[in-house]
Structure 1
Amino acid sequence: MRNRIIAGVIVGLLLTVGLLLFKNLGGFNEVTFTTIDEPRLVLQGLTYEGTPQDDGVRDTFKRVGEEASRRGLPLFTLYYVEPAGKLDTMKVFVGIETEDALGGFEQHEFSADFGIVAHVNAHRLVMPGPNRVKSKMKAHLMGQGANEPFIYLDKIIDPDSVEVIGLINR
Structure 2
Amino acid sequence: MALKATIYKAKLQIADMDRGLYVDHAVTLARHPSETDERMMVRLVALALWRPADDHQGMLEMAGSVSDTDEPDLWQKDLTGRILHWIDVGQPDDKRILKACGRAERVTVVAYAAGAGIWWQGVAGKLVRARSLAVWRWPAAACAELATLAQRTMQLQVTVQDGTVWVGDGERSVELQPQALLGGADGALR
Question: Which TM class, normalised by the smaller chain length?
Answer: under 0.3
Larger proportion of helix: 1
Larger Rg: 1
TM-score (norm 1): 0.28
Q: TM-score, normalised by structure 2?
A: 0.26
Q: RCO higher in 1 or 2 (8 Å CA, sep ≥ 6)?
A: 1
